[in-house]
Chains A and B, each alone.
Chain A
Amino acid sequence: MPAPLSVKNLSVHYHLQDEPALSSVDYEATPGHLTAIIGPNGAGKSTFLKAVMGLIPYTGEVKVFGKQLKDQKQKIAYMPQRSSVDWDFPISALDVAAMGLYGKIGFMRRVTKQHKTEALSYLDQVGMADYADRQIGQLSGGQQQRVFLARTLAQNADLYFMDEPLAGVDITTEKIIISILEKLKKDGKTILVVHHDLQSVGNFFDDALLLNRIKIVEGPTKQVLTPDNLAKAYKTPVLTDVA
Chain B
Amino acid sequence: MWHDLLQTLSFQSGYNTTLVLTSTIVLGMACGVIGSFIYLRKRAMLSDTVSHATLPGVALGFMAAVMFDLNDGRHLPTLLAGAALTALLGGLCVQWIKTNTRLNEDVAIGSVLSVFYGGGIVLLSVIQRMQAGSKAGLETFLLGQVSGLTQNESWTIMIAAVIVIIAAVILFKELTLICFDSLYARSTGQPLLKLDVTLLALMIIVVCIGLKTVGLVLIVALLIIPAVTARFWTNNIAFLVVLASIFGALSCYIGAALSATLPNLPTGGMIVLSAASFFTLSFIFAPNRGLLSSLIGARHA
Q: Do chains A and B touch in the complex (CB under 8 A)?
A: yes
A90 contacts B231, C-beta separation under 8 Å: yes
Q: Which residues from B are CB-within-8-Å of A53? A: 186-187
Return the contact of B184 from the options A70, A78, A91, A105 (Cβ within 8 A).
Answer: A78
Is chain B's binding surface mostly helix, strand, loop or mixed? helix
Q: Which residues from B are CB-within-8-Å of A102? A: 173-174, 177, 188, 190
Shortest Cβ gap from A88 to chain B (Å): 9
A144 on interface, CB distance cutoff 8 Å = no
Interface bin, chain A: 35 or more
Known: A15-B99, A108-B170. A99 touches B187 (CB 8 A): no
**A135 — nearest CB in chain B belongs to which residue?**
B235
B234 contacts A16, C-beta separation under 8 Å: no
B188 contacts A90, C-beta separation under 8 Å: no
Shortest Cβ gap from B281 to chain A (Å): 19
Q: Which of B177-195 contact A (CB under 8 A)?
A: 177, 179-181, 183-184, 186-190
With an 8 Å Cβ cutoff, the count of chain B residues facing the other chain is 27
Q: Which of B214-260 contact A (CB under 8 A)?
A: 231, 234-237, 240
B300 on interface, CB distance cutoff 8 Å = no
B40 contacts A80, C-beta separation under 8 Å: no
**A110 — nearest CB in chain B belongs to which residue?**
B173
B173 contacts A80, C-beta separation under 8 Å: no
A155 on interface, CB distance cutoff 8 Å = yes
A90 contacts B99, C-beta separation under 8 Å: no
A147 to B295 CA separation, bound complex (whole angstroms): 31
A89 contacts B187, C-beta separation under 8 Å: no
Shortest Cβ gap from A152 to chain B (Å): 9
Return the contact of A92 from the options B99, B173, B236 (Cβ within 8 A).
Answer: B236
Q: Which residues from B are CB-within-8-Å of A50? A: 183
Q: Which residues in B have some Cβ–Cβ distance to A below 8 Å?
A: 40, 42, 99-100, 102, 170-171, 173-174, 176-177, 179-181, 183-184, 186-190, 231, 234-237, 240
Please give 15 more A-B residue pairs, beta carbons under 8 A apart, in addition to A84-B181, A90-B40, A108-B173: A15-B100, A16-B102, A55-B183, A73-B188, A73-B189, A86-B42, A89-B179, A90-B234, A90-B235, A96-B180, A102-B174, A102-B190, A103-B188, A109-B173, A155-B188
